[in-house]
Each structure stands twice: as C-alpha cells, then as structure tokens.
C-alpha cells in the first residue's frame, strides 16, 4: 500500500494512489457512484442500506482528519441494486484550514476508483422564505463565493482534462429529474458556497438573495467543480436546517443544524436509498 505520500505529490497522483489503496483494502476492483454525507446526513447512513465494508480514510492516504462534529473519517462500500457505491461518512471544509485540493480529495479518489456519478449532500441555511427546516432541496446551480478553485495550480497532468472546466451543467438535470421521480415534492435552488466558518450577517443574506441564491452553506461547490472537471455527473442535495440570518428570530448554532438533520434522517435516507440504484 502506498501510504506516506508527501504533499509535494500532485493531487491527481495522490487521488490515484488513494483509489489504488481503496481497491486493495476492499478487494473490489471498481466502483460506480459515490455519496458524500454532509452535516447531519450521517444520521441517514443506516437508512441508505447495509454496508459490506468500512475503511478508515487514514488508511487511504491524502485525507485530512475531519474536525467538524458529526463528520467521520471513514468510507463505506455498499451494493445498491447492481451498483457499487462508496459512502463517505463526512467531509472536510476550507474553514478547517484545508486546501481546496484536500477538500476535493474524496471526490477525486472516487472518480479515480471508477465512479461516474457523485452525490454531494450538505446542510444549508434557507434563504427562500418558503423553505422549511428539515426540507431537502435539489441544488440546481451554485455561486462559488469561496474565492477558491480546486483547479488552481500547475495544469493537470497528461491524460487529464483541461483545467478550464465548463460548468454550464454543473448539476445534472438528468439526476435531478430522477430524484424528482422518487419524490415529486422536491424543490430546487441555487446554493451559495461561502468560506465560513462564521454564519452570515443579515445584510449578507439580503445581498445573497439579490445575487440569486436560495441556499447558503460552506461546502459542495469545490467538490462539484472537481467532479465536473473529471467528467462525473453531480447530484447535490441540501437539507435546510436553519433559516438564513435575519429570516428568523433565533441565533444560528451548529447544534440546531444537527438536531434538524436528525429529525429528517428517515426521509433523506429513504430518498438516497431510492436514488442510488438508479444512478
């Protein structure tokens, strides 16, 4: 196993090495789809289905340890229908001090291991006044307001696509339609990704609404860019866990986020369970 790869190794080679370790440790030659569970979505992990194996990310190389409550540094392998699915039990964020390359390492590893579809889940603040806490929303597009890109740096090595990635279809219309077949009540919205870790001011939320954002969070956009760069299809689902700043009287806190997510675990678990075999 290739474990002690230095930071000097370029990110695509590091992802290939992690994918090789994943194949070796699972004994599975390739995978079809990957799911990244965001804040609160871990409560849905069991409802998604029984897993065959669970591998600590520390054994794969290249993965920083998650420091956010609820995020676990492990990946599960599940068989769903005829598909071999990787389920990441958490993610890391820019606000933990991670580089964009570290933030997208899981997505790059999944694609290097064969995944052609990536499902990104997150908890988000709801900007649209008709969103309710506990409601899942399909991400139709994003505003990357992190000021960062996973494609910054030297050009990708030979054999990889150009870094000038087209993002007109960042979030697959096909996969969103498929999700709506499973749950026709699913709303769609534009996700604004901010660096965090602080929440917004009410003035910032008014600004974001003016910019066309419906949801606000601290993840997903960089992972979606990395996945699209490598040609994978992306489905992203936000769980609205709080009204964005200024839209409710209560102050925002991470405990509220996790509690809201836990009470939706059965619904979002059933949703993912229904979608996964069809990816």
188 part of the active site: no
- CB of 194 vs ligand 8IG, minimal distance in Å: 5
Which are the contacts of 120, defined by CB distance < 8 A and separation ≥ 6? 36, 38, 107, 139, 219, 220, 223, 224, 227, 234, 235, 236, 237
Q: DSSP letter at 65?
A: P
Segment lying near ligand 8IG (by CB under 6 A), choices 136-144, 166-174, 192-200, 223-231: 192-200
Q: Write each residue from 219 to 238 as x if it is in contact with ligand 8IG (CB under 6 A), else as -, in one continuous string.
A: --------------------
Exactly one of 34, 85, 170, 216 binds ligand 8IG (CB under 6 A); which one? Answer: 216
Is 34 a binding residue for ligand 8IG by CB under 6 A? The answer is no
C-alpha–C-alpha distance, residues 13 and 33, integer Å? 20
Contact present, 200 and 194 (Cβ < 8 Å): yes
18 part of the active site: no
Q: 15, 21, 34, 39: which is the annotated catalytic residue?
A: 39
Contacts with ligand 8IG in 122-151 (CB under 6 A)? 123-125
Q: 96, 200, 223, 233: which is the annotated catalytic residue?
A: 96
77 part of the active site: no
Which are the contacts of 64, defined by CB distance < 8 A and separation ≥ 6? 92, 96, 98, 102, 105
Give backbone dihedrals phi and psi of 187, rounded to 5 degrees, phi first. -85, 165
Q: 18, 144, 172, 219: which is the annotated catalytic residue?
A: 219
Is 200 a binding residue for ligand 8IG by CB under 6 A? The answer is yes
Looking at the chain, the number of H-run helices and the number of E-run strands are: 9, 9
Q: How far is CA 176 from the centre of its chain?
A: 15
- CB of 261 vs ligand 8IG, minimal distance in Å: 8
- CB of 134 vs ligand 8IG, minimal distance in Å: 12
C-alpha–C-alpha distance, residues 62 and 272, integer Å? 27
- CB of 218 vs ligand 8IG, minimal distance in Å: 5
Is 194 a binding residue for ligand 8IG by CB under 6 A? The answer is yes
242 part of the active site: yes
149 part of the active site: no
Contact present, 109 and 12 (Cβ < 8 Å): no
144 part of the active site: no
207 part of the active site: no
39 part of the active site: yes
Distances (CA, A) of 156 to 101, 150, 183, 203: 12, 11, 38, 39
Q: Count of residues binding ligand 8IG (CB under 6 A)? A: 16
Q: Which chain residues interact with ligand 8IG by CB under 6 A?
A: 39, 123-125, 194, 196, 199-200, 216-218, 241-242, 244, 252, 257
Q: Which residues are catalytic?
A: 39, 71, 93, 95-96, 123, 218-219, 242, 254
């Amino acid at each position: 196993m290739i474990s002690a790869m230095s930071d000097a190794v370029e990110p695509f080679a590091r992802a290939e090495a992690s994918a090789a370790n994943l194949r070796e440790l699972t004994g599975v030659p390739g995978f079809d789809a990957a799911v990244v569970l965001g804040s609160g979505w871990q409560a849905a992990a069991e409802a998604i289905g029984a897993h065959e194996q669970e591998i600590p990310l520390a054994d794969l190389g290249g993965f920083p340890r998650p420091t956010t409550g609820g995020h676990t540094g492990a990946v599960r392998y599940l068989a769903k229908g005829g598909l071999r699915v990787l389920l990441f039990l958490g993610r890391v964020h820019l606000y933990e001090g991670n580089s964009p390359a570290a933030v997208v390492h899981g997505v790059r590893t999944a694609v290097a291991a064969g995944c052609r579809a990536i499902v990104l889940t997150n908890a988000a603040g709801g900007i649209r006044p008709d969103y309710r806490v506990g409601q899942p929303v399909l991400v139709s597009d994003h505003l990357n307001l992190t000021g960062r890109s996973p494609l910054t740096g030297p050009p990708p090595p030979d054999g990889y696509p150009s870094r000038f990635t087209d993002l007109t279809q960042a979030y697959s219309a096909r996969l969103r339609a498929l999700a709506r077949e499973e749950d026709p009540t699913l709303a769609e919205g534009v996700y604004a990704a901010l660096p965090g870790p602080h929440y917004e001011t009410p003035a910032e939320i008014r600004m974001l609404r003016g910019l066309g954002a419906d949801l606000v969070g601290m993840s997903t956009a960089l992972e979606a860019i990395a996945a699209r760069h490598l040609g994978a299809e992306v489905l992203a689902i936000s769980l609205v866990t709080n009204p964005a700043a200024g839209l409710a009287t209560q102050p925002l806190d991470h405990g509220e986020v996790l509690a809201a997510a836990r009470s939706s675990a059965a619904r979002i678990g059933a949703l993912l369970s229904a979608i996964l075999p069809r990816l």
